[in-house]
Amino acid sequence: MTDRTLHIVGGGLAGSEAAWQAAQAGLNVVIHEMRPKVGTFAHQTGKLAEMVCSNSFRSDDSEQNAVGLLHWEMRAAGGLIMEMADAYRLPAGGALAVDREGFSQGVTDRLRQHPNISVETSEITSLPEDGHWIIATGPLTSDALGAAIRAETGSQALAFFDAIAPIVHADSVDLSKAWFQSRYDKGDTEAERTAYLNCPMDRDQYEAFIDALLAAEKTEFHEGETAGYFDGCLPIEVMAERGRETLRHGPMKPVGLTNPHAPDVKPYAVVQLRRDNKLGTLYNIVGFQTKMKYGAQKSVFTMIPGLENARFARLGGIHRNTFLNSPTLLDDQLRLRAKPHIRFAGQITGVEGYVESAAMGLLAGRLAAAQIMGKPLPAVPDTTATGALVTHITGGAEAKTFQPMNVNFGLFPPVTGLKGGRRGRRDRYKAYTDRAKADWAAWLDAEASGL
Ligand SMILES: Cc1cc2nc3c(=O)[nH]c(=O)nc-3n(C[C@H](O)[C@H](O)[C@H](O)COP(=O)(O)OP(=O)(O)OC[C@H]3O[C@@H](n4cnc5c(N)ncnc54)[C@H](O)[C@@H]3O)c2cc1C
């Protein structure tokens, strides 16, 4: 091992971006990815940067949305994940959705072709004693490595449960009942304005559907596995348990949509399916992550008008999500305090989402490269989306109640002197994102001149 070799464990969203950044900075990088030799319950290929559930990178609005701002920052830093997301973009009415196959193949090809990068198919099962390492093994970190991390960090590695939504073959949807339309016809092109498939329900159909959801057989947990759900990804049946109307005000809300098969009848509820691949052959049911047993899923979801004969490319499921208590375990450079030659990146650090995970990979790759080259970087300003996230997970968050976090403007230091409340929101968000862009550009400039 040379001094300039960086080892990255896990070639997911975070590990791939970390590898790219470090290799572009001139380091030799070895990615240790266990797939396809050792699998996880959610990944289906041996490719790098596989998206395991939704195909959305969420809002691409860098002026009014914090995750859109994170896209902007990653693009400005020459991020590979954003470059490939842009290259394989699908119409999605304001969101950045990607063709998952093309995207992960694109990332895989670029990394494998990079002269400074090699990829080893191996599972790492213990914490390395020396060298330079980034661990980016994600929410489904293998059992052996998870145990080693727990042994090192005490009982502070937490777990909670998360759920994924089913995917349907488009040609099995009955288009005499369903129709293509984005909510409020959002989007600049016809493809954007018709990016979703909609299935309408009248009141009786909705009530029968809720009854079936409540009665359906659910996956049981072992005793002790009682950690809570992340609120942004609640299983549909858990939402239904919270109130019969919850879904009608959540993923099944009937607003901004007109049924061309019955334009004068307002649906009582609408199930939306979002295009999942470039070919338009697969659609995922938006917000329908579930822990129902497979048989129950088929009988409940085929009650949806238009999906009576649906064929499922993948059913929903439930999974454990492993993450560190980063506020106590990591320093502001994402290094394990007790073993600073090891950094962590991605979802395992307690961020939530593809984009946030990739952003922490980008940062870890850059920080590692700078340190190994003897020019450690200044802290990223907490006024940027990347900086606000890393500041939150490595110290800003309350350690005792630490839960995975999506990027949001609540993590940013307030901009003073602007109107509060709803009316001032557009100006306030614009002020946040203007400030972030200027500070991120300055940080990248300082870094470029330092290295
Ligand atoms: C089932 C599921 C559904 C999700 N759905 C969404 C969603 O819809 N939208 C969203 O934004 N986020 C979602 N997430 C959350 C999260 O954003 C993704 O998991 C994201 O891929 C995290 O990026 P990562 O790089 O940290 O981990 P991953 O992308 O999972 O990458 C980790 C990699 O490490 C490898 N690995 C694990 N252990 C070892 C080991 N010991 N040695 C070598 N390699 C190892 C794995 O094979 C994997 O390739 C979901 C997560 C899960 C588990």
Q: Where are the domains of the chain?
A: 5-157+324-450, 163-318
C-beta separation of 369 from 345 below 8 A:
no
Q: Is the CB of 288 under 6 A from ligand 1?
A: no
User: What is the predicted pLDDT for the residue at 49?
Assistant: 98
Cβ atoms within 10 Å of 119's Cβ, excluding its own:
19
User: What is the predicted pLDDT for the residue at 278?
Assistant: 64
Nearest to 318 by CA among 337, 299, 293: 293
User: What is the predicted pLDDT for the residue at 411?
Assistant: 85
Q: Checking DSSP bridges between strand 158-164 and strand 269-275, what pairing results, if any?
A: unpaired
| 163 CA from centroid of ligand 1 (Å) | 13
Annotated binding-site residue numbers for FAD:
10-15
Q: 287 — alpha (psi -120 to 50), left (phi > 0) or beta?
A: left
User: What is the predicted pLDDT for the residue at 226?
Assistant: 37
Q: Is the CB of 14 under 6 A from ligand 1?
A: yes
Q: Is the CB of 138 under 6 A from ligand 1?
A: yes
CATH topology of domain 5-157+324-450: FAD/NAD(P)-binding domain (3.50.50)
pTM greater than the 0.85 cutoff: no
Tokens linked to 373: 């080259």
User: What is the predicted pLDDT for the residue at 265?
Assistant: 95
| 136 CA from centroid of ligand 1 (Å) | 9
Q: Best substitution site from 16, 32, 34, 314 to test ligand 1's pocket, by max atoms within 8 Å of Cβ?
A: 34
Through-space distance between the first and last CA atoms of the chain, rounded to whole angstroms = 22
- For atom 14 of ligand 1, which residue has the closest CA? 353
**Span 163-318 CATH architecture:** Beta Barrel (2.40)
Cα separation, 53 vs 347, in Å, equals: 14
Cα separation, 110 vs 104, in Å, equals: 10
Tokens linked to 107: 């990332």
| 43 CA from centroid of ligand 1 (Å) | 8
Cα separation, 317 vs 311, in Å, equals: 16
Cα separation, 150 vs 324, in Å, equals: 9
User: What is the predicted pLDDT for the residue at 224?
Assistant: 37
User: What is the predicted pLDDT for the residue at 233?
Assistant: 64
Q: Is the CB of 141 under 6 A from ligand 1?
A: yes
In this structure, which amino acid lies at residue 318?
I
Q: Is the CB of 290 under 6 A from ligand 1?
A: no
Local confidence pLDDT in tens for the 451 residues of the chain: 447 899 999 999 999 999 999 999 999 999 999 999 999 878 999 999 999 888 999 999 999 999 999 999 999 999 999 999 999 999 888 899 999 999 999 999 999 999 999 999 999 999 999 999 999 999 999 989 998 998 898 765 556 666 678 888 888 999 999 999 999 998 889 888 999 999 999 999 999 999 999 999 987 654 334 345 545 567 899 899 999 999 999 999 999 999 999 999 999 999 999 987 766 778 999 999 888 988 999 999 999 999 999 988 778 877 677 889 898 999 999 999 999 999 999 999 999 899 999 999 999 999 999 999 998 899 999 999 999 999 999 988 777 767 778 898 888 888 888 777 667 889 989 999 999 999 999 999 987 776 4
User: What is the predicted pLDDT for the residue at 222?
Assistant: 41
User: What is the predicted pLDDT for the residue at 223?
Assistant: 31
Cβ atoms within 10 Å of 260's Cβ, excluding its own:
9
Q: Checking DSSP bridges between strand 196-201 and strand 179-180, what pairing results, if any?
A: antiparallel
User: What is the predicted pLDDT for the residue at 63?
Assistant: 97
- For the CA atoms of 31, 37, 38, 44, the dihedral, rounded to the nearest 10 degrees, stands at 90
